[in-house]
């Protein structure tokens, strides 16, 4: 999930405004579901600075 969300995050940063809004409309419900099914990882940023750069890398989930 994290790798795929990284790709979506990059696409959302690079797309033109209209395409970004459309993709964001599709991604938002998926993000909400991910938030419901995961817990905050209080130590994520301590392990790697990279984790602190995106909220989805700071979540605990089943593997």
What CA–CA distance (Å, rounded) separates 22 from 33?
Answer: 18
For residue range 1-58, what is the model confidence (pLDDT) as tens digits? 788 999 999 999 999 999 999 999 999 999 999 999 999 988 887 877 777 788 888 8
What pLDDT shows up at residue 63?
66
Q: At what angle do helices 17-37 and 2-14 cross, to 10 degrees?
A: 150
pLDDT in the model for residue 46:
81
CA 31, distance to chain mean position in Å, is 7
Per-domain residue ranges of the chain? 2-60
Q: Which two tokens stand for residue 20?
A: 């970004």
pLDDT at 34: 93
The residue with tokens 């599709």 is: 26
Question: Rounded CA gap, 52 and 48, in Å?
Answer: 7
């Amino acid at each position: 999930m994290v790798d795929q969300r990284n790709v979506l995050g990059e696409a959302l940063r690079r797309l033109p405004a209209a395409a970004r809004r459309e993709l964001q409309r599709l991604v938002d419900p998926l993000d909400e579901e991910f938030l419901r099914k995961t817990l905050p990882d209080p130590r994520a940023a301590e392990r790697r600075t990279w984790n602190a750069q995106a909220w989805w890398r700071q979540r605990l989930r089943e593997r």
